[in-house]
Amino acid sequence: MVSFYIRDKKAKSGSIRCCVQPKGQKRFSFTVANSKIELSEWGIGQMKTGKGKQSNSQVQNRLNRLRELTETFYSEYCVKNQTSPTQEIYLDFLRSNMSNEEFFSKPDKVKLLDLIERITLRRTSGKELNKGQEFSYATIESYNSLILSIREFQIYKRRLHFFLEEWLRMDLIEEFEHFLTNNRQMSLNTIHNRLKVLKAFLQVGVNEDLIPFNPFKKFKKVLYTEDSDVVVFTKQELNELEALDFSDNPYYDRIRDQYLLYLWSGVRKSDLKNLVKVINPSTKVYTFRAEKTGEVCQVPSFDTLRRLGEKYKYDFPSPYSDTIVLREIKQICQLIPSMNITVEKKSTKGGKKIREYFKKHQMIVIHTARRTLATLLVDAGLPYHQVMKITGHKKLTTLQKYIKSEADVDGMLAVGNGLLK
């Protein structure tokens, strides 16, 4: 029922953790105070003791006492109450019956922003990697956005800072969510992104033994999102984009070609450089590993990709920044008549449902290309699991959110009416 372990077995040293697994209850753990040891002195669930290891024996005696007190309390509580004690009851008993200094670590108070900025710097500098690769620009930007929002929240609350342990209170998290909704008038999806990153950093705090639990997990906080009203290119629009003649405008020609690479490969913008490295005249499938997920992407050598490879003699120029491509592709798409129709965009901002109206070309983003390929392939009958091999999606549900197909009323009628014959 009571066991001991070291969290990071790859480190040279670490603090001992006590894990309690009550019958019928969720297990919980805490750091034993003043228990940082060299991992070479740790055996299987206990200290290495014996000749010349008196200090180890002293630590092990403390662990044995902690185990004995815990198991004795468990037995007596079960007999008296006919049920197992909860985590809160356990910890109350331990704190009231033994010295906090002896068994419970009391880490120095850490400011939330100090933690976020420290981790951000470590990941930006490449000292910490994500599955063997550097963290993406978009990920680092999400950290910076959270930092800005927390600073604004501190000003709103007239606070110089918030300590990490204060965020264990769900009411503070909900007050932060209310601030983003009503004071900052953020959309539901933007708020979801802020809270998702906050949840991740609180988990870092748990992993580093700075706080005992992640409130998002303990209180099962639900992070709400909504489907975005996004646009995709139709087959006709895709053909018209390819057919535009920019022989007298090399700049627009390169911008359009770069966007066609996105459209016909379905790659995330972070993977374009990986794609162009493997485009060659001799293979049917261009294979590379996605930076975001580490999944293998297998992009078929579609005719447009082959044509672009031949055009640039398989030596593609350095890509333009996404900011430039996005700005210019909106201008280019105005040359396609159907991209000038007005479309409605529905979203939730400031807790209110709103409707906005834009020209279709104004709603294009880099990710529109990825959504377009997934949608057109599914509409053409390619099975989802095959599309996932191209896009590198891990989950079918994620891919399904990408599909923006129009309702095929004639097809529905034909299938439905056919059931009666």
Q: For residue 303, what pLDDT is reported? A: 92
Say what the alpha-carbon torsion angle 51, 38, 34, 4 is, to the nearest 10 degrees. -80
Return the DSSP state at 300: E
Report how far residue 39's alpha carbon sits from residue 12's, in angstroms, rounded to the nearest whole number.
6
Digit-coded pLDDT (tens) for 226-246: 666 578 999 999 999 999 999
pLDDT at position 100 is 47
Query: Rounded to whole angstroms, how far apart are CA atoms 288 and 297?
Result: 5
Confidence of residue 360 (pLDDT cuts 50, 70, 90): very high
Region of poorest pLDDT, from 39-43, 175-179, 331-335: 39-43
What's the pLDDT band for 369 if we cut at 50, 70, 90? very high
Give me the chain's average pLDDT, please. 84
Segment 20-43, tens digit of pLDDT: 887 777 777 777 777 778 888 888
Percent over 70 (pLDDT), the chain: 89
pLDDT at 197: 95
Q: How far apart are CA 31 and CA 47, in angstroms?
A: 15
Is the pLDDT at 325 greater than 60? The verdict is: yes
pLDDT, average across residues 60-78: 85
Enumerate long-range contacts of 351-360, CB under 8 Å, 24 or more apart. 351/181, 351/182, 359/334, 360/231, 360/333
Length of the chain: 421
Q: Which CATH superfamily is domain 235-414 in?
A: Intergrase catalytic core (1.10.443.10)
